[in-house]
Amino acid sequence: MDSSHLLLLVVVAAIAFDLMNGFHDGCNAVSTVIYTKALKPHTAIFISAAFNFVGPFLGIQVAKTIGGVINFGAADPNMMARLVIAAMIGALVWDLLTWLWGMPVSSSHALVGGLLGAGFMAMGADGIKWAKLTEVVMALVTSPMIGMLMGFILMMISRRILAAIRLDIERADGFYRKMQIFSSSFVSFTHGSNDATKVMGIIALFLAAHYGYSEITVPVWVILACALAMAIGTYLSVMSMRLVRTLGEGLTTLHPVNGFSAETGAALVIFTASRLGLPVSTTHVVTSSVTGTGLASGLRSVGWRTFRDIILAWLITFPFCAAVAATAYYILSIISG
């Protein structure tokens, strides 16, 4: 197969994943703002889609980090094309299943798991840059903990401010509903800046192997394509409120002050990670931040059964996607001869 066909297949697979990422994760950025009725669903999703489009232009540091997980210098273009497509298949299958279940899981974990499974099947242990993979996994694991802490701290600060001005949470709802418009937009912007750039890194990974680049570079057309796909996928997520219900009802009782605290805390974590070039999961950080706002009211204010189910889904994500991607790579190798 010639180079133009290989590139087309890789881009199609990457864009398909970016669309699903936006569709699956787009609700995370606006779940609280919809549930607290700060914005109507269509309005919230439209604003989120716009900011998801802008986000990827923040920088390509995350793309370089993701692309650095695979030893692209050891692969020929045909092998790399199969590897990239297989990784996307592994992540796409998991995103589709968890969307049907209404379970907020990480497209980032799914993508990294897919890369690991396909990369190991294609090149063995030598095909994985383990130091870079460790860096990625550490960022994915620690960021939810920081998100929970940020949600808790900002909720406690908000409570103290309300107590100081003698305004109870119910009477403060109007103010915080307005503030949520800004905080949810911030989350959407950071989602685009981190998640869309992961797919940019996957396309750049193939380009580096194909053209013999010594390092990961991301052309402007790749940034535009990924940004647009993420925005469209996010806009289409208005067709499903499954994840909105899980985050809005299952974890804690949400007031606008909870939504603002959770969104602001999550956005600050994701923004910082993007600037440092660290891939993190918007889903994990937002979910943990919402849980943190519930903890501010005590342990009984958190829906621990829902939280347990989410954690179990998180734990399954990595090995499931790795296994599906490895199987997909094997099948693609047989088909392509």
User: What pLDDT, on a 0 to 100 scale, did the predictor assign at position 252?
Assistant: 56
For residue 277, name the pLDDT band (cuts at 50, 70, 90): confident
pLDDT higher than 60, residue 3: no
Number of domains in the chain: 1
User: What pLDDT, on a 0 to 100 scale, did the predictor assign at position 324?
Assistant: 95
Q: Give 127-164 pLDDT, tens digit per residue.
A: 888 888 888 888 888 888 898 899 999 988 988 887 78
| Tokens 């993979």 sit on residue | 133
6-10, 23-27, 37-41: least confidently modelled range: 23-27
User: What pLDDT, on a 0 to 100 scale, did the predictor assign at position 322?
Assistant: 93
Tokens of 94: 């998991």
Q: What percent of the chain clears pLDDT 70, i.e. is strictly above it?
A: 84
Residue 204 belongs to domain spanning: 3-335
pLDDT higher than 70, residue 27: no
Please state, rounded to an integer, the average pLDDT across all residues of the chain: 81
User: What pLDDT, on a 0 to 100 scale, did the predictor assign at position 246?
Assistant: 55
Q: Give 259-275 pLDDT, tens digit per residue.
A: 888 889 999 999 999 88
Averaged pLDDT, 280-286:
82
pLDDT higher than 80, residue 326: yes
Averaged pLDDT, 17-36:
76
Q: What percent of the chain clears pLDDT 90, i.e. is strictly above it?
A: 14
CB 325 within 8 A of CB 70: no
CB 185 within 8 A of CB 265: no
Averaged pLDDT, 183-193:
88
User: What pLDDT, on a 0 to 100 scale, did the predictor assign at position 247?
Assistant: 54
Cα 23 to Cα 174: distance, rounded to the nearest angstrom? 29
Please return the burial class of 131, using the count of CB atoms within 10 Å of its CB with bins 0-12, 13-18 and 19+: exposed
Q: Give 196-237 pLDDT, tens digit per residue.
A: 888 888 888 788 777 767 677 788 888 899 899 989 988 887
**The model's pTM:** 0.84
Averaged pLDDT, 76-81:
80
Averaged pLDDT, 306-317:
72
**Nearest Cα to Cα of residue 260 among 33, 55, 37, 42:** 33
